[in-house]
């Protein structure tokens, strides 16, 4: 049976990984503007504070890992009061080596490995909306190992570097998300998969997206009444069942159309539409342009 979490992360296509060492000592604080791209941070030694816009501040300690799928604005600081230094990640130079905050001499109070990457998916907005906006995990040795591998590979220039980094980040994202407790996740895929009944229906949709599913069939798969399933799915996932199914079909369609090598008729059949005209109408309403134009635009961008 399909693994929805793996499918979504794979479809996101992470690439262009950048990592660096970060240290801080004494009084220090930095404020980063909204970035939009996914980022991560692992605490190697010591601790610090992290306050995302719209969220309460959290204390990070040795062994902690943070994943931000869209990286909103945030303040990171030591434990002593300090005025934040403003940093715009879109214009900040990409430097090699270690980034130091606060006192420049002596041993640091905190040592971190930070990094970011880019999702190369034409439907990243929908796919990322299925993930928690903030993941803060503690004591997951596998994550520390993966971050170390990402750091080592990004510092090198061996053959296959970009491919290895992309696969490592896929594993890093999946490992982080599945290590989180679904009950405490916000609305989205992780919350839905944490519900044993809803997980059956979600996996069924991913396993056979071309099937003409109805709410009643999905409710029976989940062993729930039709109304109970509908309200439970909408509450936990944040989308009605048929809206989720259509969004997933459109994400798959975009992925199939990108190379420009598959006929629209075949794409329509693979994602559950009886004719190319019906599919084109639905695709245009959902995406804002016909599938043919989307395929040509995607091919031109890739070229």
Print pLDDT tens along the chain (303 aa).
678 888 888 888 887 778 888 999 999 999 999 988 889 889 989 999 999 998 889 999 998 999 998 899 999 999 999 999 998 877 765 555 688 999 988 899 999 988 888 888 777 877 787 777 788 888 888 888 888 888 888 777 788 888 888 888 888 888 887 777 554 566 788 888 889 999 999 999 999 999 999 999 999 999 999 999 999 999 999 999 999 999 999 999 998 998 777 899 999 999 999 899 999 999 999 989 999 999 888 766 655
CA pair distance 271, 248, nearest whole angstrom: 9
Question: Domains of the chain by range and CATH?
Answer: 4-180 (2.60.120.280), 189-302 (1.10.10.60)
Q: What is the DSSP string of 153-199?
A: HHH---TTHHHHHHHHHHHHHHHHHHHS-GGGS-SSHHHHHHSHHHH
- What was the pLDDT predicted at 123? 75
Per-residue tokens: 203: 């996996």
**Per DSSP, what are the bridge partners of residue 42?**
65, 113
User: Residue 114: its pLDDT value, please?
Assistant: 87
State the pTM of this model.
0.75
3-state secondary structure of 112: strand
Q: How far apart are the first and last CA of the chain?
A: 35
Q: What is the pLDDT of residue 1?
A: 62
């Amino acid at each position: 049976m399909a693994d929805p979490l793996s499918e979504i992360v794979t479809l996101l296509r992470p690439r262009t990984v950048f990592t660096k060492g970060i240290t801080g000592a004494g009084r220090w604080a930095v404020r980063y503007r909204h970035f939009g791209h996914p980022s991560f941070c692992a605490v190697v030694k010591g601790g610090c504070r992290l306050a995302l816009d719209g969220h309460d501040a959290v204390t990070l300690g040795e062994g902690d890992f943070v994943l931000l799928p869209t990286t909103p604005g945030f303040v990171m600081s030591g434990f002593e009061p300090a005025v934040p230094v403003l940093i715009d990640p879109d214009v900040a130079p990409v430097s090699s080596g270690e980034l130091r905050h606060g006192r420049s001499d002596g041993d640091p109070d905190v040592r971190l490995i930070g990094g970011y990457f880019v999702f190369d998916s034409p439907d990243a907005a929908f796919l990322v909306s299925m993930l928690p906006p903030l993941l803060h995990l503690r004591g997951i040795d596998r994550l520390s190992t993966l971050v170390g591998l990402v750091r080592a590979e990004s510092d090198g220039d061996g053959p296959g570097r970009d491919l290895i980094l992309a696969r490592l980040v896929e594993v890093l994202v999946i490992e982080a998300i599945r290590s989180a407790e679904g009950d405490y996740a916000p609305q989205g895929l992780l919350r839905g998969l944490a519900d044993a009944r809803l997980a059956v229906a979600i996996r069924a949709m991913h396993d056979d997206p071309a099937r003409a599913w109805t709410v009643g069939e999905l409710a029976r798969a989940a062993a729930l009444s039709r109304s109970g399933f509908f309200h439970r799915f909408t509450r936990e996932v944040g989308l009605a069942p048929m809206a989720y199914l259509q969004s997933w079909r459109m994400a798959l369609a975009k992925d199939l159309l990108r190379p420009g090598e598959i006929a629209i008729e075949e794409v329509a059949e693979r994602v559950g539409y009886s004719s190319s005209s019906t599919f084109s109408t639905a695709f245009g309403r959902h995406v804002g342009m016909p599938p043919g134009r989307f395929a040509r635009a995607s091919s031109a961008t890739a070229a």
